[in-house]
Amino acid sequence: MTFNKKGDDDYFIRLLSYFRSHFREDIIEMVPFRKSVIMLKTTKNSYMIKGYQTNNRLKLQEAFIRTLRKEGFSNTYQFVRLPVDEMLYFDGHYFGGIEYIHPNKMPFTFQTQKSRQEGIELLEQFHQVTRNFESRYRTLLPQSTIIKKWKERTNLFATNLPTLKYFMHEKYLTEMLDWANWSINKMEESRSFYMNEPFVVLHGDVAHHNFLRDKRWKLHLIDFDLISIGPEVLDYLQYANRILPFIDWSFERLKSHRKFDTLLKEKAFLYALVFPADIFREWNRLIREKSYTDHQKYNQVMELTIGQFLLRKNFIDDIKRTL
């Protein structure tokens, strides 16, 4: 068996034993990506196996993907019937089967303007399709509340200050909290911008690893765990936050991407770009999981926070001058 992920060996060994006892096909390889995302290769097929904390959550994902594909968005996976006789349930997770998309040797990244624009265009297609059926999911999915979420993220970051002061000088912490409070206050003044219809189904996690290029170079959008209902601008706001580190926090380079040339004329969009969403998210997670002892994770977050601090500060200054 192949285990690409270190740690949790006992869990994965038990899980492999469970799958072997339930599959009608012989399993010849198992590759865990995360604790609840596993690739299984059998003598007949390859499957992605994904776990959900409730059966209702699994059924919702299956229904959403069926609707998405039926309405015309084919650039994603589909759920498949597994060679098992009963529902797979192990250690608090209900497991469903997803088709395995063979990845390209050249993975998708935000490194080039061409790939960043390709991601924007795929996201646009996703929104165009989900706009047609989002009303059917309004009672099933939460409505996105970005201001409330970012207030909670800021409060948690402030609560973590005693720990954060061990890792960086207080002046950095003070300035980042100033950015956050300024951004939230301005967003409050433009609250309607973040709530205006028409609504779409928001993807909610437009990181590079949720864009998958297959062997034929077709780009797919995957992993819909954080879908919600809201205006499409919220996904583009997150996308901008994701690509800014790859363009040296350049206002002009962000503006050169189609879609953002229009959005960057909106004051409310600029207000939200000032919020250090990525820094607060990663530090809150690092402290919650006590993973600051993991040198790789720690170095990545420090690069995001301190290594890019001056570039980010200049970017925020550009926004304020523009406003």
pLDDT digits (tens, 9 = 90+) for 312-322: 999 999 999 99
- Could you tell me the residue ranges of all domains in the chain? 9-99, 113-322
Please report, as a single letter, which amino acid is at residue 16: L
pLDDT one-digit tens code per residue, 122-181? 999 999 999 999 999 999 999 999 999 999 999 999 999 999 999 999 999 999 999 999
Dihedral sign, CA of 179, 184, 185, 190?
positive
Q: Element (H or E) spanning 48, and its range?
A: strand 46-52
H/E run at residue 90? strand 88-90
The 10s digit of each residue's pLDDT in 106-117 is 999 999 999 999
CA–CA separation, 239 and 115 (whole Å):
13
Does domain 9-99 match CATH 3.30.200.20? yes
Q: How far apart are the first and last CA of the chain?
A: 57
Residue 6 pLDDT grade (very low, low, confident, very high; cuts 50, 70, 90): low
Cis peptide before 103 (omega within 30 of 0): no
Longest CA–CA separation in the chain, Å: 64
pLDDT attached to residue 141: 97
Average confidence (pLDDT) over 30-44: 94
pTM for the model stands at: 0.93
Q: Are 200 and 131 in contact (CB under 8 A)?
A: yes
Q: What is the DSSP string of 160-222?
A: THHHHTTTS-HHHHHHHHHHHHHHHHHHHHTGGGGTPSSPEEE-----GGGEEEBTTS-EEE-
Give the rounded distance of the alpha carbon of 80 from its chain centre: 23
Q: What is the CATH number of domain 113-322?
A: 3.90.1200.10
Question: What pLDDT band is residue 2 in, cutting at 50, 70 and 90?
Answer: low
Contact 319/270 with Cβ under 8 angstroms? yes
241/27 Cα distance (integer angstroms): 41
pLDDT digits (tens, 9 = 90+) for 225-253: 999 999 999 999 999 999 999 999 999 99
3-state SS assignment for residue 103: strand
